Amino acid sequence: MNKPIPKVPEIFLKPTTSYVTEKSPIKIPKGFSVNEEVELGVIIGLKAKGVNEDEALNYVGGYCLAFDMTATCKMKEARSTGGSWTLGKGFDTATPVSKFIPKSQIPDPHNITIWCTVNKILRQNACTVDLVFDIPFLISYVSQFITLEPNDLILTGSPPGMGPVRNEDVINGGIKGLMEMEFKVVSED
């Protein structure tokens, strides 16, 4: 069943303990079922409050690739009760990120291909032109309610194909022609 396209983005925060860089494992908490979701990350470069869409890209400091690890068990529970997404999206190591990518290396963030494999099997492969909300809209929308600070990270959304990961899986992701990253999954079960 396809969900309707939202009119505004779902906004949630990820604690700093959810961030992890390469060579560190993604740890699945005991009893959690988790999906991977590859996304382009937008790193804010300047303090942004009430930004207009036509000026929004001026506030971008650079980019990264990220996996928005999602505890589907907790998200199902939160959606059914109207509860918080914090456990579903913010558990420790739920936000694996690549190295910083300077803005100059991605002159058009709406025309890059991002991809993800799990154990060398392609799951996600799409162009950012297909994002539900473009980057200027996301920055403008969020900055109407939350002041964005330098180094804040906005994840832009995931293409179709995400799926479950398990203990000892190896997740690779990349931006075609630019960079790749790899993370190993470790389950606490």
Q: Could you tell me which of 27, 21, 17, 12 has the C-alpha nearest to residue 186?
A: 27
Residue pair 108/40 in contact (Cβ under 8 Å)? The answer is no
Residues with Cβ within 8 Å of 2's Cβ and at least 6 positions away in sequence, in order, are: none
Model confidence at 4, in pLDDT bands (50, 70, 90)? confident
What is the model's pLDDT at position 177? 96
* 53, burial (CB in 10 Å: exposed 0-12, middle 13-18, buried 19+): middle
Kindly report, residue by residue over 140-167, the tens digit of the pLDDT.
Answer: 999 999 999 999 999 999 999 999 999 9
The alpha carbon dihedral of 23, 26, 30, 33 has a sign of negative
What is the model's pLDDT at position 2? 66
For the residues 107-135, what does the mean pLDDT come to?
97
> Whole-angstrom Cα distance, residue 157 to residue 147?
20
Global pTM reads 0.93
Would you say residue 63 has pLDDT above 60? yes
Q: Could you tell me which of 21, 28, 126, 6 has the C-alpha nearest to residue 64?
A: 21
For the residues 34-62, what does the mean pLDDT come to?
98
Give the residue ranges of DSSP H helices in 7-165. 72-81, 86-90, 135-145
